[in-house]
Structure 1
């Protein structure tokens, strides 16, 4: 049996798993970074308020106010 008769080896799926975990992680980090930069740098507010639910509820209420 020669090398021509053997089927080609398949590449491992390790990178697929890594990429599937990296994409949501990068999206989450981008969201947190964007919220922080937008609220602290552009809005000139305190960093401690960025991660409070009441802050973002107020922003949503302002956006969707009738």
Structure 2
């Protein structure tokens, strides 16, 4: 016979903690994607384009960009 102690049983997590963990697992990828888009816009528009960061969220900025790209 071995002298190893019996493994300790883990206490089960509370149900509310399991629910929060599941919610975190579901929303982490979309949140990271939105964060990556924002960082990409910020770097491209402010650092490379030398424009103010506040204009990233103005619809007129993106309308102008769309008109430049798809002009006839």
Q: Superposition pairs for residues 23-62 of structure 1, below 5 Å?
A: 23-62=29-68
Q: Which is bigger in relative contact order (C-alpha 8 A, separation at least 6)?
A: 1
Gaps of 5+ in 1: 1-11
TM-score normalised by structure 2 residue count: 0.64
- Structure 1 stretches of at least 4 aligned residues deviating more than 4 Å after TM superposition: 12-16
1:14-60 CA-partner distances (Å, limit 9, x unpaired): 75542220000000011111111100000001112111110011111
Q: Residue in 2 aligned with 1:8?
A: none
Gaps of 5+ in 2: 1-17
TM-score normalised by structure 1 residue count: 0.69
